[in-house]
Structure 1
Amino acid sequence: MYEVDSKDKVVELTEFPQSSIGAPIPIVLASEHKVAVAYYLNDVPVDWDGLTIRMIGTDSNEPVAIVVFDICYAHYFGPPNDEAFSGHPLSNRGLKPYTSFEILNSSWIRKMESRNSIHPYHDMESFMKGKRHFVLAFHDSIFECVAQNFKIHINKGSMKEIIPKMGEFTL
C-alpha cells in the first residue's frame, strides 16, 4: 500500500457498473501492460422477497462486468474488506466500499514518479502524462491500479466461463 498526503482527492466514478454487494467474487488477470478485473454485478431478481439467502459462487450464471485497464503500470488486489475499510489511507476522503473511484493527484503515482527519477533520462512531465489511479472497492477486497484508461464489457456467465474472455482482452 502507499501513504497519502493532503493532495490526494477521491472522485467517485459513476460509469462503472455496480458490483454485487454480497458476492462480487472479483477475479484479476494481468499481463505486463493490461489488467482485467471481472466481478458479478448487483443483480437482484424481481421476484426475490429478501427473506431467503441467494448463494452465488464461481459457477453461478450471472451478469458480469469485465473492466480492462490499458497501459497499466501497477496494480494491487487485496485488503481491506468492507468491515475494515476505515483502515484504507483514503477512507477519510470519501473512499467507501462497493463503489469505484479515481484518485486525482495520487500519492501513489507521485511516489512512482519519484522512484523513477533516478533514471538518467527521466522527464517528470512525460512520466506523469496519462497516468490515472483507479480504485474498485468490493465486499471482501479492493482493486487499485495506475493505468491510462479503461473499457467496460458486460457479459453473462460464470466466473469460470469469463476467464477466457478476460484473456482475450489482456493478451
Structure 2
Amino acid sequence: MSTAETLLRIEVPLSSAGAPLPHVFADEGRLLVAYLADTPDTSFDGTNPRSVSPLTGNQSVAILTAEPYLAFQFGPPNDESISGHRLYPLGLRAYEAFEVRNSSWIASLEKANQVHSSHTPELFSDYLHFILTFHDSTLEFIAKSFSTSLRKGAVLTALMEAAGEGV
C-alpha cells in the first residue's frame, strides 16, 4: 500500500526573486547548485535596477551540495506556471524549498531498478526528494542529504570554486 506524497517546507538560503541565476554542475556522484541569495541591497533606492550576470562579482551566492545524489531535473515550471506542477495542490510555491515525503519519483526509480539482478529496495531507502523553486526554473533532486553555504563573489566563479574543492 502506498502513502500519498506530502510536502515539508525546508530551510535553505532564499533565492533572489529577481534573477537568482541558478547554475547546476553534476557528475555521477555530486550535484552542485549555485544561485544568487536574497540579500537586501542597502544601496538600492528602488529606481534604476541594476542588471547582474553570472560573472557579476561581490554577490551573495548560495552553494547547494548533494553528495551522493541519485537524480536531478532542472527546468520548468517557472514562478508564473508553478500552479501547473503536480505538487502545487500540496503546497508547492515559488521561491521556496521542500522535501517531498513518500516520493512517487523515488518509487518509480526503485521500480525501474527491479530488473537488476542485485536489486534490493533498501538501495533506495535512504534517499530523499527535494524541490527548490526559482524565478525562471525549478530544481528537483534525489539525494541522501545536502548542505548549503553562502559565499561572496560571482555565481559562476563560486560554482567553479566549489566544484574544484570536491576533487
The normalised TM-score by structure 1 is: 0.90
Task: Identify the match of residue 137 of structure 1 among 109, 133, 136.
Answer: 133
Q: How many residues align?
A: 165
Please tell me the root mean square deviation across aligned C-alpha atoms, in Å.
Answer: 1.6
For residue 28 of structure 1, what is the aligned residue in structure 2?
24
Alignment-mate amino acid for residue 149 of structure 1:
S
CA distance in 2, matches of 1:168, 1:89: 36
For residue 147 of structure 2, what is the aligned residue in structure 1?
151
CA distance in 1, matches of 2:62, 2:43: 23
Task: Identify the match of residue 122 of structure 1 among 115, 119, 123.
Answer: 119
Alignment-mate amino acid for residue 121 of structure 1:
S
Task: Identify the match of residue 159 of structure 2 among 159, 163, 169.
Answer: 163
For residue 86 of structure 1, what is the aligned residue in structure 2?
83
Q: Which runs of 5+ in 2 are unaligned?
A: none
Alignment-mate amino acid for residue 53 of structure 1:
P
SS of residue paired to 2:71: strand
CA distance in 2, matches of 1:26, 1:100: 14
State whether residues 33 and 64 of structure 2, in contact with CA within 8 Å, keep that contact through their aligned partners in structure 1: yes
Deviation at 1:17, TM superposition (A): 0.4
In the TM superposition, what are the counterparts of 1:32-43 in structure 2 within 5 Å?
A: 32-43=28-39
Deviation at 1:158, TM superposition (A): 0.8
Q: Which runs of 5+ in 1 are unaligned?
A: none
State whether residues 30 and 170 of structure 1, in contact with CA within 8 Å, keep that contact through their aligned partners in structure 2: no
For residue 63 of structure 1, what is the aligned residue in structure 2?
60
State whether residues 27 and 37 of structure 1, in contact with CA within 8 Å, keep that contact through their aligned partners in structure 2: yes
Deviation at 1:53, TM superposition (A): 1.6
State whether residues 137 and 143 of structure 1, in contact with CA within 8 Å, keep that contact through their aligned partners in structure 2: yes
Write out the 4+ residue segments of structure 1 that deviate beyond 2 Å after TM superposition: 46-52, 168-171
Deviation at 1:6, TM superposition (A): 6.7
Deviation at 1:95, TM superposition (A): 0.6
Task: Identify the match of residue 112 of structure 1 among 109, 113, 116.
Answer: 109
CA distance in 1, matches of 2:3, 2:102: 10
CA distance in 2, matches of 1:108, 1:25: 26
Deviation at 1:48, TM superposition (A): 2.5
Deviation at 1:31, TM superposition (A): 1.0
Deviation at 1:44, TM superposition (A): 2.0
Structure-2 change in CA distance of 1:26 and 1:83 (3 Å): same
